Amino acid sequence: MPSRRFRWPAAALFCTLLCTIALIADAAPQPVPDTLTQRLLACATCHARVDARGNPVNDSFYPRIGGKPAGYLYHQLRNFQNGRRHYPVMTYLTEHLPDAYLREIAAHFAAQAPTVLPPTPVNLSPAQRDRGRQLVHEGDQTRGIPACIACHGARLTGVQPAIPGLLGLPRDYINAQFGAWRNGVRRAHAPDCMGQVAARLSPDDVAAVSGWLAAQSMPADPRPADAVPRPLPILCGSAP
C-alpha cells in the first residue's frame, strides 16, 4: 500500500489536469454568427473612427462611409469592381461579389448614422480661403465650374440617392480624388461630371477647395438632403 505522502502529488496532478481541460474548453473558439454586420466588420479597419477592436483608424486618407447615400456607395463598389476606380484592395474585395450583395452592403452602411467629425485645422492664406469659399458656394462661371453646393447640397452633406457629402472628408483624400479624376484613374458613368470639373480646376484651386472644405464644421445633423434643384448645372451620369 503506497504511503500517504505519494497520494497528495497525484491528487494535485489530477486537479491540475482538470483545471487545464477547463481552461482549454473556455478558450475554445466560439461560433461566429454569419450575419451581414459580422461580415462587414472588416470594413471598419479603414472606414470607421475605430476598428472592430476599438483602435483608432487612420483619419488622413480613408473616408467614413456610414450614412452616405446608398446609391452612391453602390456605384463606388461597382466602379471598383469594373475598373472605373483603381485601388487594389477594393478591387480585390469586390471583384467576385454579385450585384445583389453589393446593394446589400451599400444599404447596410447607408442605414448607419453619419459620423460627425471635427474640422481639421488648415493653414490657408486669406486669398486661398476666399477662393475655396467662392468655388464651393458660387463656382467660377468664366471657366464653366459649377458651385459645389449646386450638386452636393446647400449643407454639403450630400443628396439622396447618389450624391455624396463633402464635409468631414480628410483633405488628403479630397486632393487624391481630384488627382485621380484629372489623371483618369477615377471615372464615373458618362457623362463624367466630376471628371470635367476636375479638369477645369487648377492645382491651386484644388488646394483651396480641399483646404476650405476640411476646415468646415459639420452640421449637427449631417444626413444627406432629400433633393436639390433640378436640372443640375452640369450633366452627370451617376446622378441623372
Neighbouring C-beta atoms of residue 65, cutoff 10 Å: 23
Taking only the tens place, the pLDDT of each residue in 173-187 is: 999 999 999 999 999
Query: Is the residue at 175 inside a domain?
Result: yes
Query: Is the residue at 158 inside a domain?
Result: yes
Which amino acid, residue 168? Answer: G
Query: What residues contact 151, with CB distance under 8 A and at least 6 apart?
Result: 159, 163, 193, 228, 232, 233, 234, 236, 239
CA-based torsion, 57, 61, 62, 67: positive or negative: positive
Q: Given this model, what pLDDT does residue 105 score? A: 97
- Separation of alpha carbons 164 and 71, rounded Å: 9
Neighbouring C-beta atoms of residue 212, cutoff 10 Å: 23
Which amino acid, residue 52? Answer: A
Query: Is the residue at 35 inside a domain?
Result: no
**Highest mean pLDDT (candidates 18-32, 63-77, 114-128):** 63-77
Q: Given this model, what pLDDT does residue 120 score? A: 87
Flag whether pLDDT at 22 surpasses 90.
no
- Separation of alpha carbons 198 and 78, rounded Å: 21
CB 239 within 8 A of CB 232: yes
Q: CB-side exposure of 141: number of CA atoms within 13 Å?
A: 3
Domain that holds residue 146: 126-214
The grid cell for 226 is 432629400
Neighbouring C-beta atoms of residue 111, cutoff 10 Å: 10
Flag whether pLDDT at 131 surpasses 60.
yes
Flag whether pLDDT at 5 surpasses 80.
no
Number of structural domains the chain divides into: 1
pTM of the model: 0.83
Query: Is the residue at 137 inside a domain?
Result: yes
The grid cell for 29 is 473558439
Flag whether pLDDT at 14 surpasses 90.
no
The grid cell for 2 is 503506497
Band (pLDDT 50/70/90 cuts) for residue 10 is low
The torsion of the CA quartet 116, 63, 190, 134, rounded to 10 degrees, works out to 60
Conformational region of residue 156, where left means phi above 0, alpha means psi within -120 to 50, and beta covers everything else: left
Query: Is the residue at 159 inside a domain?
Result: yes
For residue 211, what are the CA distances in angstroms to 84, 136, 226?
A: 26, 11, 27
Neighbouring C-beta atoms of residue 200, cutoff 10 Å: 14
Q: Given this model, what pLDDT does residue 6 score? A: 43
- Separation of alpha carbons 102 and 55, rounded Å: 27
Taking only the tens place, the pLDDT of each residue in 51-97 is: 666 666 666 688 889 999 999 999 999 999 999 999 999 999 999 99
Query: Is the residue at 174 inside a domain?
Result: yes
CATH of the domain at 162: 1.10.760.10
Query: Is the residue at 117 inside a domain?
Result: no
Known binding residues are: 43, 46-47, 90, 148, 151-152, 194
Query: Is the residue at 46 inside a domain?
Result: no
The torsion of the CA quartet 14, 17, 19, 24, rounded to 10 degrees, works out to -160
Flag whether pLDDT at 238 surpasses 80.
yes
- Separation of alpha carbons 151 and 32, rounded Å: 42
Known binding residues for heme c are: 43, 46-47, 90, 148, 151-152, 194
- Separation of alpha carbons 208 and 144, rounded Å: 17
